[in-house]
Amino acid sequence: MRNGMTPEDPPMLDIAFAKPALPKSGALVLLLPEGVAAADPAGAMWQAADAATGEAITRALSAAGFKGKPGQVTTILAPGAGLSRVVAVGLGKPDALTPHTAEEAGGHAAVALTREPAAAIAASGLSADMAVSVALGAVLRAYRFDRYRTREKADDKPKLAKLTMLTDDAAAAKSAWPAARGIAEGVFLTRDLVSEPPNVLNPVSMAERCKKLESLGLKVEILTPKDMAKLGFGALLGVAQGSANEARMVVMHWNGAGARRGKAKPLCFVGKGVTFDTGGISIKPAGGMEDMKWDMGGAGTVVGLMAALAGRKAKVDAIGLVGLVENMPSGTAQRPGDVVTSYSGQTIEVINTDAEGRLVLADVLWYAQQKYDPRFMIDLATLTGAIIIGLGHEYAGLFSNDDELATQLHAIGNATGEKVWRMPLAEAYDKQIKSDIADMKNVGGRPGGAITAAQFIQRFINGKPWVHLDIAGTAWSSKDSPTVPKGATAFGVRLLDRLVAEHYES
């Protein structure tokens, strides 16, 4: 069960920790750095397993050309000594090992073990923290979104259910694991939300799922269209007015600062939650429109992040806000040429109804500042196709008015593998969204489209440190990677959780 919200999904991979000892049966994973023959004690388990199998492992690794390079995997079936298989996973050079590369090794192991119900991973020689990173990588890679598979054969389903990490400091690793598991649960929640079909996940049902996070200790408020109309959310409600599914705004509070509360302002995270985006009257082409179920990826990340902070009991006060709408064409839909008044009082000429996410963010960001006076704000949105043209699917676009925040996120992105690349903000781009009849228009033309979108959002930032992350190219993946199976990535959950952990907790 994931966060008590999705009992129909398979359980998360079970992780245990134990002192190093050669298993008498089942599967064994050997994490081997380059130059393993000389490594000590990293090679101790390898040597024991090799001796027990009559040097079958040595012969197999030699024949496969295994060198211990990062990502290199060799599987040896039934080598003897009761073992069903031995999987060698390369760690690379010992002095280059990082938590991220350790996670990737765990992910490679999980893929190689998919036909085994249980296995042990020899992590002797690694610190307790590194052993936890390996386990976390395996858990993240083993994720599956299964709830709509009704005809899959039992033999086609992955069998791996439990991993035992064999580590010298098993007690320390076991103590550290609950926090890592809390992060994994947040990632899984985001992947679940982004994977859901749009006939199941709409603004109302997504808000209801957020409400269930109160079981983790979050305080959750839900604002209805009536509530938002009283506040003056003209921009957000304009997007929603064409859909039969009502809009919602959800505010999630995690109060973990304890005695420090009041000494530091809360951190604020805001997500775009367009649960399905047809483009509205400016309708999208049919090809690929089914992908627009994940136009709520920014909101999904914020929900998963808040679950992760609560799951690991982060010592910080944080607020997550998500604006949830469905962008549909109908007789009541917003038209190109309409002028709406945002919660800030600024007016917006809607040139293109498919540039709707920035309208949602405009009202929610202004509300966040006025209501909570946060230390900083970070918004996430699958905002523009233009960012994919510029950065592909490798980096998210980062826009910011604060050099310190931008620098922190860049470094953490490289460390976690959730990479960001800073893009410019400048007055010249701002001129592109000047309107002839209102305070601004919602698009600035094709040149620099991701930048002019960020310039639009910046007009609703009232002096607060702010980062905008355009995750259109990174929220969903069409291929597997070491710790992320094809599909929803949950990009940003681990990036922002690490930001909080390293720089903003007591």
For 326-359, write each residue's pLDDT tens digit: 999 999 999 999 999 999 999 999 999 999 999 9
In degrees and rounded to multiples of 5, residue 348 shows phi and psi of -130, 125
- The domain ranges of the chain are 14-183, 201-503
Which of 59, 147, 211, 284 is the catalytic position?
284
Q: For residue 217, what are the CA distances in angstroms to 177, 212, 475?
A: 20, 10, 27
Nearest C-alpha neighbor of 275 from the set 253, 251, 252, 303: 303
Which of 389-417 are b and which e, b meaning 16 or more Cβ less than 10 Å from the residue's Cβ? ebbebebbbbbbbeeebbebbbebbebbb
Which of 248, 272, 358, 494 is the catalytic position?
358
List pLDDT tens digits, range 194-227.
999 999 999 999 999 999 999 999 999 999 999 9
**pLDDT range class, residue 43, cuts 50, 70, 90:** low
Q: Examine domains 14-183 and 201-503 and report if their fold is the same.
A: no
**pLDDT range class, residue 1, cuts 50, 70, 90:** very low
Q: Taken in order 471, 476, 479, 480, is the CA torsion positive or negative?
A: positive
Tell me: pLDDT of 112 over 80: yes
Q: Which CATH class is domain 201-503?
A: alpha beta
Is 24 an annotated catalytic residue? Answer: no
Is 284 an annotated catalytic residue? Answer: yes
Tell me: pLDDT of 263 over 80: no
Architecture of domain 14-183: 3-Layer(aba) Sandwich (3.40)
Strands 487-488 and 476-477: antiparallel
Stated as kind and residue range, the H or E segment containing 194 is helix 170-195
